[in-house]
Amino acid sequence: RMSRHAKKLRDHDINPCLAETDATTKCMDDNNYNKDMCTDYFLKYKNCRKFWHGIMMQRKRNGVKPEMPSAEERKKILESMG
């Protein structure tokens, strides 16, 4: 049984970096937990978190709710950026 926190992390509307999280975990599993083999995955995850954190802070400053855009909204934001 998953905790409420674990469920939240698996929710596409809450966690914008779910794909990066899963890819990093898979890389670690596949490479016997050798972090050096997964540097690119960690970097992609870090960049993802940084990007969406910035969006979230901007929305917070502008009084936009919810602060984290939904999965559908995030898709549109990324598409608009090319």
Q: List, for residues 28-75, the tens digit of each pLDDT value.
A: 999 999 999 999 999 999 999 999 999 999 999 999 999 999 999 999
Q: From the centroid of its chain, how far is CA 13?
A: 10
* Count of other CB atoms within 10 angstroms of residue 40: 11
Q: What is the pLDDT of residue 8?
A: 76
Q: What is the pLDDT of residue 34?
A: 97
Q: List, for residues 13-29, the tens digit of each pLDDT value.
A: 889 999 999 999 999 99
Q: What is the pLDDT of residue 45?
A: 97
HSE (CB half, 13 Å, CA atoms) of 5? 0
Q: What is the pLDDT of residue 3?
A: 85
Contact 8, 66 (CB under 8 A): no
- Residue 26 one-letter amino acid: K
Domain definitions of the chain by residue range: 4-81
